Amino acid sequence: MTTYIKAAQTISPQETFPDKGIPDTICEYSNYLKCIFPDFKQYFTPLQLRRMNTLIKAGNVCAIETLKEAGIDKPDCIITATGLGCIEDTEKFLHQILQTGEGLLSPTSFIQSTHNTIGAQVALNVNCKGYNVLYAHKSTSFENALLDALLLIKENEASNILVGGFDEITNENYLLKSSIGQYKENCTNLTILNTNSKGAIAGEGTSFFLISDHKSAENYAIVESVNILSSCNSIAKVKEWHNQVLRKNMLTIANIDIIFSGINGDINNNEIYFEIINSVYNDSTHAYYKHLCGEYDTASAFGLWIAAKAIKNNNLPKHFIIKDKERSIDNVVIYNQDNFKNHCLIVLKKI
Amino acid sequence: MTGRVFVTGIGVISAIGNNVRENLDSLRNQKSGIGKIEILDTIHKDEFIAGEIKYTNNQLSDLAGISEGDNLPRTSLLALIAAKESILNSGIDLSDKVRTGLIGGTTVGGMEKTEKYYYHPELNTDFIKSHSCGSITEQVAEYIGVTDFVSTINTACSSAANAILHGARLINHGYIDRVVAGGFDALSKFTLNGFKSLFILSPELCTPFDKNRKGLNLGEGAGFIVLESEELLMKSGKKPLCRLSGSANANDAFHQTASSPNGEGAYRSMAKALKMAGINADQIDYINLHGTGTDNNDFSEAMALKHIFGDKIPHFSSTKPYVGHTLGAAGGIEAVFSILSITEKLIFPNLFFKDPIPEFGISPVQNVITNVDVKNVMSNSFGFGGNDTSLIFSSN
């Protein structure tokens, strides 16, 4: 059973939404990257707008545009992914509890802090009563969701599956994570390739895809496989795993035209990526994408959006490229890892 | 999915016991664990009761057999205790080469530590890393030594049921050969105040499916089951506890927090699970309800039961009056109870029930039924966002 990406939309810190191509120029941010949001007023009534927080609005709108692009009113299933859910409302509710000493609270923030709220709202909006799950497993959340979609297609349980990944950054969360060295301070997204300090560049984004078993000339790419390696910190094993994954997909390293790696500006993380891409993917074009979106748990969903567009257009702007082998774009992998612990590899093929 | 997946181990910690044996004793003796809140530091101690586990984090750390004391979130400690027991119970050896997964379901992950130190990061910053749902599962995976596949699901109160469902699917697809799957959540001010703000907490003992039900009591705990592929069992010759014969997920698509009055999502998940198990509704011997004790859930679930079973509803009960609503853990703890129903030939009562809901006139089991041949048990878990999941465990 072949699985296709039929539609792909992303709301990111760049001009990407709706229906935009890969950006040629990059918006620069200092410290952390925030999304450029569309005008939500064209999608919702004022009453609806008041009830929703930003991430919920972004999730709903991104899902709407993805379905529109696919020409599908209602998907069979909805699978979503987030590392932390709506942080803004989690923080709001926490503050209310702590500041009022557990006083009288409005339930809105509590309801909106529940991680599955976006998948549920989209289901409600499009009246989708099918399978609906949310994965919340750190940096592998989105790959878990995409893997699930592949399984459903294999099971003949569904033909059209809406898969989304979303996370948001707040100033408070940024400060907390920088205080323990997870995020970088005094930096810009334009220099993450060549930093020699600890901490990733923080970011956020919402991406949705329509994953389908229908063949169409309009499709972006074939999702060959989604692979997750948990808790591995041996460089030799990780390298061998890359080779194994490709063999399983009837490919060799030499077939891979582009590897998109999750280089995020953290010196330790960057080193691991360079070690893997330089030794394993010697003949491939090396590309990165987090200078556009920053680091967040579901950032690889943005990576998939870029990769899907690059395959369809057979073109990738120069600013993504670390080392160019000037190959035609037929086979692409997206490699993401989290502090040398959880590793994910999405394998895409031209249709 | 065509493969057969078997349950070979169970583990649980809840307000009625630290392990399977203690939980079973309480279930059998109709002993509820819901009472005064003593461990959770909340101003609502005298206003609400809960299914709280009466151990401090230091004591739980000892129970888990680790020396972390209060350093780990309470959720991780609960999860580790139940996961370890399920592994021991199944007799699997995680150091062998069999591909093993760990899938956890939880709603608020490490929130208990976050709310404690959020305004005092100078005291401890560990909460920043242990806050997320996935970080709890990852901690458990590290302690028990699962490396092949680790994942976390959060579909509110059906999280653990979906973790079990997903684990079975991964086995059927050949991704892994066995899985430790379930759920965990610790009581927190965040959830207590959240449910309070929704006005669905009962100040009294909860009475699911009762005419005068006043809402739910929160609880805490963890429940895990070990699932193994048929192939693995044929190799080892191990006798399973039972089989996971059906599992299905549907969405109510009605309201963000409320269930539809016609119970459509619940109907869909139950009907689909029956279809997958290849059995008719009249072959179900016992239904372990979601049965939270809220007006809305119980009405909606009763409607769905009528829709599926007509006038011949099998024995049914909610075990939440024993342990409270343990949110992300509920589907795991109730899976363990459902499995015990099969292996111990018992059907557990719906404690504190008095009068049926007039619209339905149906009454749950009110006293323990012993020596009963239970072949098929259905376990329901429904969550905010209309995320409904039904599991069916079968003796054959």
Cβ–Cβ below 8 Å for B153 and A135 = yes
Taking contacts as CB-CB distances below 8 angstroms, the residues of chain A near B132 are: 83-84, 136, 138, 297
* B19 has pLDDT over 90: yes
pLDDT band for position B189 (50/70/90)?
very high
* A264 has pLDDT over 50: yes
Q: What is the DSSP string of A255-282?
A: G--EEEE---S-HHHHHHHHHHHHHH-T
pLDDT band for position A340 (50/70/90)?
confident
Using CB atoms within 10 Å of the CB of residue B65, give its burial: 0 to 12 exposed, 13 to 18 middle, 19+ buried. Answer: exposed
Helix (H, G, I), strand (E, B) or coil at A286: strand
State which residue of chain A sits closest to B141, comparing Cα positions. A231
Q: Which value, to the nearest 10 degrees, does the dihedral of the CA atoms of residues A182, A187, A189, A194 take? A: -90
In the prediction, which pLDDT does A231 show? Answer: 84
Rounded average pLDDT over B200-217: 98
pLDDT tens digit string along A272-321? 999 999 999 999 999 999 999 999 999 999 999 999 999 999 999 999 99
pLDDT band for position B1 (50/70/90)?
very low
Structure tokens, B120:
């005092």
Structure tokens, A343:
């590793």
pLDDT tens digit string along B69-114? 999 999 999 999 999 999 999 999 999 999 999 999 999 999 999 9
Strand intervals (E) in chain A: 4-11, 77-81, 132-135, 160-167, 205-212, 221-229, 258-261, 285-288, 321-323, 331-338, 342-349
Strand partners, B153: A135, B105
- Sign of the Cα torsion B304, B308, B313, B319 reads negative
Q: How far is A93 from chain B (nearest CA, A)?
A: 8
pLDDT band for position B128 (50/70/90)?
very high
CB distance from B166 to chain A under 8 Å?
yes
pLDDT tens digit string along B269-320? 999 999 999 999 999 999 999 999 999 999 999 999 999 999 999 999 999 9
CA angle A44, A49, A54 (to 5 degrees): 110
pLDDT tens digit string along A32-60? 999 999 999 999 999 989 889 999 999 99
* B386 has pLDDT over 80: yes
Structure tokens, A275:
């070690």
Can B120 be counted among the known catalytic residues? no
In the prediction, which pLDDT does B257 show? Answer: 85
The position carrying tokens 């005064």 is: B36
Taking contacts as CB-CB distances below 8 angstroms, the residues of chain B near A116 are: 154-156, 383-385, 387
CA angle A176, A177, A179 (to 5 degrees): 65
pLDDT tens digit string along A70-104? 999 999 999 999 999 999 999 999 999 999 999 99
The answer to whether B250 and B268 have CB atoms below 8 angstroms apart is yes
CA B169 to CA B165: how far, in whole Å?
6
The answer to whether B164 and B7 have CB atoms below 8 angstroms apart is no
The answer to whether A116 and B255 have CB atoms below 8 angstroms apart is no
Taking contacts as CB-CB distances below 8 angstroms, the residues of chain A near B118 are: 94, 98
In the prediction, which pLDDT does B3 show? Answer: 72
Closest CA to B268 of A189, A56, A123, A79: A123
* Chain A with chain B: Cβ pairs closer than 8 A: 175
Task: Return the residue in A148, A230, A297 with the most chain B beta carbons within 10 A, the one to mutate for interface testing.
Answer: A230
CA B199 to CA B204: how far, in whole Å?
13
Pick the CATH number of B245-394 from 3.40.47.10, 3.30.428.10, 3.30.1330.120, 3.40.50.300: 3.40.47.10
The answer to whether A59 and A121 have CB atoms below 8 angstroms apart is yes
Can B206 be counted among the known catalytic residues? no
Q: How far is A182 from chain B (nearest CA, A)?
A: 9
Secondary-structure class of domain B5-236 per CATH: alpha beta
- The residues in B 315-334 lying below 8 A from A, measured between CB atoms, are none
User: What are the boundaries of each domain within chain B?
Assistant: 5-236, 245-394
The chain-wide mean pLDDT, for chain A, equals 96
Strand intervals (E) in B40-127: 49-51, 100-105
CB distance from B121 to chain A under 8 Å?
yes
Kindly report the pTM of this predicted structure. 0.98
CB distance from A124 to chain B under 8 Å?
yes
Share of chain A above pLDDT 90, in %: 95
The position carrying tokens 């609960």 is: B78
Helix (H, G, I), strand (E, B) or coil at A183: strand
* B12 has pLDDT over 60: yes
Domains and CATH numbers, chain A: 4-212 (3.40.47.10), 221-349 (3.40.47.10)
